[in-house]
Structure formats: C-alpha cells, structure tokens
Amino acid sequence: MLKGMLEGRGRIWWAAIIILMFLLPFILPRFYLYLLSIILLTGLLATSLNLVLGYGGIFQFHHAVFYGAGAYGTALILTKTGLSPWVSFIVGPLVSAALGLIIGWICIRLSKLYFAMLQISLGSLVWIIVYRWYSFTGGDDGIHGIPLPDILSSSNNAYYFTLIVTLICLFAMYKIVKSPFGSTLQGMRDNPVRCEMIGINVKRQQLLALMIAGFFAGVAGSLFVVVDNTVFPDMLFWTLSLEICIMCLLGGWFTFLGPMLGAAIIIALRTFVSTYTTYWALVLGILMALVIFFLPNGVLGYIEEKIKKGFIEPVIKE
Amino acid sequence: MDLIYAILPPKVLAQIFVGLSRTTILFIVSSGLSLILGVLRIPNVAHGSLYMIGAFMAFTISKVFGGGDAGFWAALVGAPLGVALVSLLAERGLFQYLYEREHLMLLLLTFAVSLIFGDLVKIVWGAEYKSVPVPHIFQGYVYLFEGLPFPIYNLFLLIVGPIVAVALWLIVNKTKIGKISRAAAVDREMVGAVGINVSWVFAIVFVIGCLLAGLGGALVAPTVSVTLGMDHTLIIEAFLIVIIGGLGNIWGALLGALIFGLTQSLGILVWSQFGIVFPYAAVIVVLLFRPTGLLKSTW
C-alpha cells in the first residue's frame, strides 16, 4: 500500500493524509493529540514486530522487551546523567538493538515454538531485573516526571516529534522490506532450506532482522518517554508482547501498514471502551477470537483480497 | 545427621523443602500443560487462567461448606471438576476448530481466551484478595532440622505431588485413552482412519490437562492470597518447565519443575533481592546445551 505513496494517484492521497496529520494540532483538543501520539508510536512498535513476525516468519513473542529497553534506556539517561537529552533518544534505541542482538544470538539456534519460549524466558529475565532493581530502575513504580528538553515539553511539539520520527522510521522500514534484504527475509520465511542452499547465511540474516526490529521498537519506546513522561515495568511484560502480536494480526500481518491500522483500532477501541466499562480485556479477548476465526489475514489483508486493483499491491501470501 | 549438616546446613535443607513444595504445584500445573502440548499441540496460554479459576473456585466451595475441613476436601475435589467443565466448554466451543492452524494463531487464541477468563473471574469474584483457610489437621508447623519451622500443609503437598505423577503416568501408559492419545499425538490421521473419534480423544486429553491446572489452583489456594493476576507469572513458569523438560514428556515436566522450584528457593538464599532470577537463568543454560529439552519430546 505504501507503494502507492511513491507513484501516481496514490501519492496525492498520502500527501494529503500527512499534511492533515500535521494540521491536526490546530483542531484537536490535547487529549486526542496524546491519543494520536500513542497510536503512532504503538503502530511503529507493531510495524517493527511485523518486520520479523510477518515478513521474517520468526516467532518473536516477546517484542515488548525491546520497547521497554528503549524506553528505560532513554529515561535512565535523562534522569541519571547530565548528557544532552538528544543523546538519550539515540542511546535508547541502540540499547534495544544491542539487546535484540544478544537475545537473538541466544535464541536464533532454535526454531518456532522453542525460539518463542526461550525468548520469553530471556525477556522475563530482563523484566524481573527491571522490576526488582529499585535503586536503578525504580522497581515496580517505574520512573515518573522524566525531565524533557523544553522544546518537547508542550503536547503539540511532542506530537510533531512523534509524527516525524514515526514517518521516518516507517519509510526506513518500508525501504528495508523492499530492499534485497527484505526479499531475503521473506524468502527465508517461505523456504529456509532453499535459502540456505543458494548461499544465504539464514541465521545471520535473521539475526540482523531481529536487531533492526529491536532498534525500531526502541525508537517507539523512546517516543513513549517523550509523549508520556513515564516508564514502568509493565512495558516489558509478556502480555503487552502478545497484545502487539494481536495488533499485527488484526491489521493484517502480511501487509506493511496493517500493524499500524491494528494499533490504531485497538488503542482507539480501548480508550472508547474504558470510558464505559473496566472490562476492556474481555472485549479485547472476544475481538481477538473473532479476528482469528473470521479474519485470519486481518482487516487490510481482507480489503486487499477484495480489491486487487488500483494502487493496492497484491497480498503477500505464504 | 551431623554429617549431613556439615554438607548441607539446616537453612539450606529447609529451603530445599520449601522449593520442593513449590515444585509440587509447578509440576501439577505444568504436567497438564505438557500433556496438552504433547498430544494436541496447543500452546495453551489459558492454562494459567484455569489455574486461577481453580483457586477461586476452591475459595467459593470452601466458603459454601463453612470454611472448615469439609470445605477444604470438597474444594480439592470440586474445583478441579469445575475447571474441567469450563475447559470442556472452551475446547468444544473454540479450540477444536483450530487444531490445523499454525501455532502462532493457537497461541494468540488461547491468549484471547485467557483475557476473557481473567475478566470473567473479575466479574464473578471481584478484584479483592481472597484467602482459603488451611484445614485443621494441616495447620501449624513441624520443626525440622534443628528447629526450623516447616508448615505441615507443605508436607501434604509433598505427598500429593508423587501421587499425581504416578496417577498421570498410569493414565497415559496403562489406560486405553492414554494409549490412543499417544498414538494420536504421533499420527492423528491414522488414528482417525481406524475408526476412533480423534476429536473426542483430544477433548478428553484437554480436559484432563486442564483438570490438573484446576487441581494446582485448589492446592495452592490455602498457601497464597488468591488474586487476579496470579496466572500471569505462573503460566510463563509452566511453559518454561515444559520446554526444558521436553514437550509432552511428563517426567520432563517433573524434572523441569524440580529445577525451577529448587533454583528459586535456593536462589533466595544466595541473593535475596534477585533470587527469582535463578530459575530463568537455569532455563537459559539448559536450553543452550539441550535446545529441545532435557528428556525426549513427543514432537
């Protein structure tokens, strides 16, 4: 779908949407801007997961760890050191990428469910350390009131910052998916043995993908610090990881923009439902079960199946 | 005795006993998970929720019976059966349609079910802490190892663990349904071809596995405060135990539970703040050297 952005008629639509998003702060109240920022960064997180889950076919079941690591990396540098705040926004994602490399290196020798379980184990280890290390990470309280540079302290500017960074990251990930490396990734998903035969070092390429996904998840984590000013250990808990998986699935995990759409639907719905009832998990569970039964390719996947023409590119099928 | 104390100080021995009673709970829950994984190949995230439901049901049943000894025994029987009923509904209503789908979908579906169960528990029982009284005969402490107190209830757990292990082994290896289920785990179509209703075999195995989750919940209820969220950490621990033991292998689940329970209780002696890190580290070490688990997996 993003392909349409770069050529022909679709380009105008996308340009219009992006300009509209830049104009939104003039119309929307503060709460909706905050919500939109959260949607953007969560969408970025889900897209980064989909890079390895949908395109790479790797069972990345504990993606939230990288999100949390990025957020904590940024938050700790902002609160504990006198370094420039901008350094922290770079260090956060780099911490996540490094963690992605370490966890990936340990897990990559296993496949499928074993990979997932070892990753959940390692991720839980990171979670416990964050949860228990009161003197350093603030334990289960997390860190609140993180000092931000003045330019980001207004909600409008935080929104603009999130929007710009998210757009840059989405563009970068789109380029990665369409690059030879992206094709290799999809090839390894569909037939790892054949990829190995034609001389691709499957493990190394997958490790690279895990690192890239970790990096972008870390960016999302840093953005969360900018938008929300807090970090807390639940950001690294495994239930969040599965929720991100649901976002990918709901939007369509064989499409590039699906995860973003899924994140938007789930967060908007959560905000809406929470005003009426405290039983959001029940609604989410039912929604998920319905999606798994009736929309296995997700919303975007379904739409693309229906309209296989215009500027919509064909569904990537397994 | 002095010789033993020279090697293992009383404090360590007491901690080993604490670890062993934790092992019992972990084993009972994860053996059910392992059974389901081995035969049905469903990574059942909702297993933890069933454990939680078991604990809540134990609370209600024991309250209905006046909270005394009768209540405890009734809960011990009734809660697992109640959980079995819930799981039967879930299996017949949802899971049975998805056996052919890939693991990712199954895992997410069971996660969805666990979210639903979690909120249903909140609706039925509320968000407050609940406590189940320990029956009179198991109240108090025995003084082991130079006077270190050890709850009698935990001794009871140490007896229940092996009983469950043997019973499960008998069901899987000596009964007809066990033999059919083992065959179905290897080749589902072949078993169907000889005229056995595989779908119902799977349902029965699923229910037995979930019954164990309920039993674990009912057993743990008197020792902890029964609360929402007690499923979250347990299910991860159960999964890790099953993985390091070897998928579908019941003795593997026992071995994994032993490793998990003992490293946890002894880890607290070594480093109290981060004692809980040790079991996870143990899992990582095991998986690095034996990527498919310690014992033979049925997959």
Tell me which residue has tokens 């349902």: B203
Gyration radius of chain A over CA positions: 19
* Residue of B108, B239, B276 with shortest CB distance to A249: B108
Q: Reply yes or no on whether the pLDDT at B275 is more than 90.
A: no
pLDDT of residue B80: 92
Number of Cβ pairs closer than 8 Å across A and B? Answer: 110
Are B287 and B245 within 8 A, CB to CB? no
Are A217 and A70 within 8 A, CB to CB? yes
Q: Which residue has the higher pLDDT, A42 or B288?
A: A42
pLDDT of residue A318: 40
Range with the poorest average pLDDT among A165-179, B19-33, B89-103: B89-103
Q: Reply yes or no on whether the pLDDT at A130 is more than 60.
A: yes
**Which helix (H) or strand (E) segment is B144 a member of?**
strand B141-144
3-state secondary structure of B94: coil
Share of chain B above pLDDT 70, in %: 96
Sign of CA dihedral A240, A241, A247, A250: negative
Looking at residues B231-237, what average pLDDT do you find?
Answer: 86
* Residue of B94, B105, B236 with shortest CB distance to A120: B236
Q: Where residue A133 falls among pLDDT bands split at 50, 70, 90?
A: confident
Q: Reply yes or no on whether the pLDDT at A241 is more than 80.
A: yes
Are B124 and B133 within 8 A, CB to CB? no
Q: Using alpha carbons, list the distances in angstroms from residue B170 to A177, B76, B105, B165, B178.
A: 52, 21, 32, 9, 8
Q: At what angle do helices B69-93 and B198-220 cross, to 10 degrees?
A: 150
Query: What gap in Å lies between CA A182 and CA A188, rounded to an integer?
Result: 10
Phi (first) and psi of residue A231, to 5 degrees: -135, 150
| Nearest one of B175, B185, B192 to B206, comparing CA atoms | B185
Query: What gap in Å lies between CA B226 and CA B217, rounded to an integer?
Result: 9
Q: Where residue A9 falls among pLDDT bands split at 50, 70, 90?
A: low
**Which helix (H) or strand (E) segment is B70 a member of?**
helix B69-93
- Residue B275 C-alpha, separation from nearest chain A C-alpha, in angstroms: 10
Tokens encoding A278:
């405290």
Residues in CB range of A195: below 8 A, 6 or more apart: A184, A187, A188, A202
Tokens encoding B257:
């539970």
pLDDT of residue A80: 82
The domain segmentation of chain A, as residue ranges, is 2-238
Query: pLDDT digit string (tens) for B110-163?
Result: 889 999 999 999 999 888 888 888 887 777 777 766 667 778 888 888 888 889
3-state secondary structure of B77: helix
Query: What gap in Å lies between CA A159 and CA A152, rounded to an integer?
Result: 9
Query: pLDDT digit string (tens) for A49-59?
Result: 999 988 888 88
Cβ-based burial of B5 (10 A; exposed 0-12, middle 13-18, buried ≥19): middle
| Nearest one of A210, A304, A200, A288 to A249, comparing CA atoms | A288
Q: A105 at the B interface (CB within 8 A)?
A: no
pLDDT of residue B49: 92
Name every chain A residue with its beta carbon within 8 A of the beta carbon of B113. Answer: 285, 289
User: Which one-letter amino acid corresponds to residue B258?
Assistant: L
Looking at residues B55-68, what average pLDDT do you find?
Answer: 86
Query: pLDDT digit string (tens) for A265-281?
Result: 999 999 998 888 888 88
pLDDT of residue A308: 65
Cβ-based burial of B7 (10 A; exposed 0-12, middle 13-18, buried ≥19): exposed
In this structure, what DSSP letter does residue B149 have?
E
Angle made by CA atoms A82, A100, A117, in degrees to the nearest 5: 130
Query: What gap in Å lies between CA A293 and CA A301, rounded to an integer?
Result: 14
Task: Kindly write down the DSSP assignment for every residue of B252-295, as one continuous string.
Answer: HHHHHHHHHHHHHHHHHHH-STTTTHHHHHHHHHHHHH-TT-SS
**Tell me, what's the ipTM?**
0.83
- Residue A125 C-alpha, separation from nearest chain B C-alpha, in angstroms: 6
pLDDT of residue B227: 85
Query: What gap in Å lies between CA A68 and CA A59, rounded to an integer?
Result: 19
Query: What gap in Å lies between CA A32 and CA A26, rounded to an integer?
Result: 12
| Nearest one of A180, A64, A170 to A124, comparing CA atoms | A64
| CA A109 distance to own-chain centroid | 24
Query: pLDDT digit string (tens) for A135-156?
Result: 887 777 888 888 888 777 787 8
* Residue of A113, A285, A296 with shortest CB distance to B116: A285
Q: Reply yes or no on whether the pLDDT at A5 is more than 50.
A: no
Q: Reply yes or no on whether the pLDDT at A25 is more than 50.
A: yes
Name every chain A residue with its beta carbon within 8 A of the beta carbon of B245. Answer: none
Name every chain B residue with its beta carbon within 8 A of the beta carbon of A293. Answer: 97-98
3-state secondary structure of A108: coil
3-state secondary structure of B226: strand
Q: Reply yes or no on whether the pLDDT at B234 is more than 50.
A: yes
Phi (first) and psi of residue B141, to 5 degrees: -130, 150
| Nearest one of A87, A74, A56 to A212, comparing CA atoms | A56
pLDDT of residue B55: 92
- Residue A124 C-alpha, separation from nearest chain B C-alpha, in angstroms: 8
For B98, nearest residue in chain A (alpha carbons): A293
Subunit contact B120:A125, Cβ cutoff 8 A: no
A42-51, A105-114, A187-196: which has the highest mean pLDDT?
A42-51
User: Which one-letter amino acid corresponds to residue A128?
Assistant: I
Q: Where residue A2 falls among pLDDT bands split at 50, 70, 90?
A: very low
Q: Where residue B45 falls among pLDDT bands split at 50, 70, 90?
A: confident
| Nearest one of B29, B28, B33, B45 to B205, comparing CA atoms | B33
Among A292, A295, A297, pick the best mutation site for testing chain B contact (most B Cβ within 10 A): A292
User: Which one-letter amino acid corresponds to residue B81?
Assistant: L
Query: pLDDT digit string (tens) for B130-145?
Result: 888 888 777 777 776 6
Are A165 and A223 within 8 A, CB to CB? yes
pLDDT of residue A1: 47
| Nearest one of A194, A122, A121, A167 to A260, comparing CA atoms | A167
| CA B85 distance to own-chain centroid | 17
The size of chain A, in residues, is: 318
Mean pLDDT of chain A: 85
Q: Reply yes or no on whether the pLDDT at A315 is more than 50.
A: no
pTM here is 0.86
Q: Which residues of B have a CB under 8 Å from any CB of A? A: 43, 45, 94, 97-98, 101, 103-105, 107-109, 111-116, 118-120, 122-123, 232, 236, 239-240, 243, 247, 273-274, 276-277, 280-281, 283-284, 287-288, 291-292
Tell me which residue has tokens 């990734």: A185
The domain segmentation of chain B, as residue ranges, is 20-228
For B116, nearest residue in chain A (alpha carbons): A282
Query: What gap in Å lies between CA B175 and CA B196, rounded to an integer?
Result: 15
pLDDT of residue B174: 87
